[in-house]
Amino acid sequence: MTGLAILVYLNQPPYQPRERDYAYAGSFYAFSIWVGLGVMALFNLLQKKLPQTVAGSLAAALCLFVPFQMLAQNWDDHDRSGRYTAPAFAFNFLNTCEKDCNAILITHGDNDTFPLWYAQEVEGIRTDVRIMNTSLLGTDWYIDQMQWRTYESAPVKFSIPRESYLYGTNEIIPVNERVTDRVPAIQAVGVMANPRAKLQLMDGTKLNYLPARKLRIPVNKENALASGIVPAKDAHLIPEYMDLDIPENKNTLLKVEMMFLDLLANYQWDRPIYIVSKGGDLNIGIQDYLRYDGMAYKLMPYKVDTLSTQVPYMDTDKLYPLLMDVYQWGRMDEPDVLLDYHVTYLYLVQQAVRQMYSQVAKAMILEGKDDKAEALLDKGIAVMKQYPLNWVVQPSMNEVGVMEAIELYFFLGRPEKAKALAIPFLDETFKAIEYFMGTYRGGLLSATDAESAISTYVHMNDILEVNQEKELAGTYTQQLEELFKKYQ
């Protein structure tokens, strides 16, 4: 019941963010009992032939071979010595934020947040940054903490009174668009937090509500420039107002969104706000205002999506030294460091480091800074040299980043560097296709796995052909055709 039965009952999907062995704790308890009984049985058997002390020692020695065998076989799969990717991950997030500006860094879960807490609490790194976890911002005690000073970080200012965010209060806030015109966000938040302004539901329940979808937040231009939110070269882009549009298909706000909306309604643009992923738990119309800043996004007073079409809008003057000199990688480029599934998933899928370097390199090329672009591409390859080039478990931006780097090397007139990356990438991808097609024929995997790998392979071959590497492309095309014939 605690092993196979719970496995069937939970029906967990194959790809998990972490090991779920704790779900089977009951089966380990039962197994441990039988281990103890087995040792006792061996001892009883031996003491019939040997003195009791000798029998006990021999039984213990023989049974210790089992855990020693497990240790010997599994040590190399679990040895994390010399690997400092978690603190490096936190260091990079914190140092993406502007220094001495009282920045706020929005995180969305425990994996994002725990390394940051360690970096600040234990190592004292960037204690001027206020970490705000949206998974906790729906709790009254955490909202209280946000309003306290922490190290060098000033309190976060909210206008909603405590009785309006206590546990069990305003957990869900309906969006009831009574006003279709654009209204000041501070007024909308005032209505939302007003205990006398209630929306009565059909069952008689009365709830606070948001009275408008179109909200307007004034922008303090002087503060935005002084606090480093907007660089001086972009001062002309600063508008009088920042307009937010709650999505039409969103009919309720969560408490965390209510509090963040309150933060923005009272925002004086005197401290930068960074978010580790584009929007995350905050679906209130801020996505268009998030500037790509490396390992985090920065909230800007103007929409950034229309400012750049070929690459994300970014400040290359900031990102070049950040990626070349500031970011740390916790020895993950060393051959003696174990890069297990979790670290591989982090830097190939969640943070896609290769694509980050490729994107900034492309932006450099668009600015005519070819030397810096090549340096960035080289750095990205060096940092990630111990990782597979193709994350075959599921499609990711890592593969996009690798192919972008190859295209950019060709563009920069570095065909040898391009081919040095393309050949192992194609080899890895072909092995994935071969594996997926073989197992798919046996019914073990869906066709999607093979199709995704084939699509990547064909696209990479097209890049070679476009860049006059027709002979090399032909070799890999023939290889794929022969594999197809095998499974016809």
Contact (Cβ atoms closer than 8 angstroms) between residue 126 and residue 101:
no
Give, rounded to a whole angstrom, the gap between the first and last alpha carbons of the chain.
44
Query: Looking at 115-124, 318-327, 441-450, which range is the least confident one?
Result: 441-450
Tell me how crowded residue 52 is: count the other CB atoms within 10 A of its CB.
10
In 3D, which of 153, 92, 104 has the Cα closest to residue 299?
Answer: 104
Q: What pLDDT is recorded for position 6?
A: 76
Non-local (6+) Cβ contacts of 432 within 8 A are 390, 392, 453
DSSP 61: H
- As a whole number of angstroms, the distance between CA 473 and CA 426 comes to 10
Own/partner long-range contacts of 76-83 (Cβ < 8 Å, ≥24 apart) = 76/338, 77/338, 77/340, 78/338, 78/340, 79/338, 80/338, 80/340, 82/331, 82/334, 82/336, 82/337, 83/330, 83/331, 83/332, 83/337, 83/338, 83/339, 83/343
Given this model, what pLDDT does residue 445 score? 53
Taking only the tens place, the pLDDT of each residue in 351-405 is 899 999 999 999 999 999 999 999 999 999 999 999 999 987 777 899 999 999 9
The pair phi, psi for residue 253, each rounded to 5°, is -110, 145
User: What three-state secondary structure class fits 153?
Assistant: strand
User: What pLDDT, in 10s, does the model give residues 19-53?
Assistant: 677 777 777 888 888 888 999 999 999 999 899 99
Query: Looking at the predicted structure, is the pLDDT value of residue 440 above 80?
Result: no
Residues 166-213 have pLDDT tens digits of 998 999 999 999 999 999 999 999 999 998 889 888 888 899 999 999
Lowest mean pLDDT among 2-11, 148-157, 290-299: 2-11
pLDDT at residue number 279: 62
**The two structure tokens encoding residue 318:** 């900031």
Nearest alpha carbon to residue 430 among 450, 404, 402, 413: 450
| pLDDT per position as a tens digit, 60-70 | 999 888 889 98
Q: What is the mean pLDDT of the chain?
A: 91
Of all residues in the chain, the percent with pLDDT exceeding 70 is: 96
Would you place residue 258 in the very low, low, confident or very high pLDDT band (cuts 50, 70, 90)? Answer: very high
- pLDDT class for 330, splitting at 50, 70, 90? very high
Q: How confident is the model at residue 17 (pLDDT cuts 50, 70, 90)?
A: low
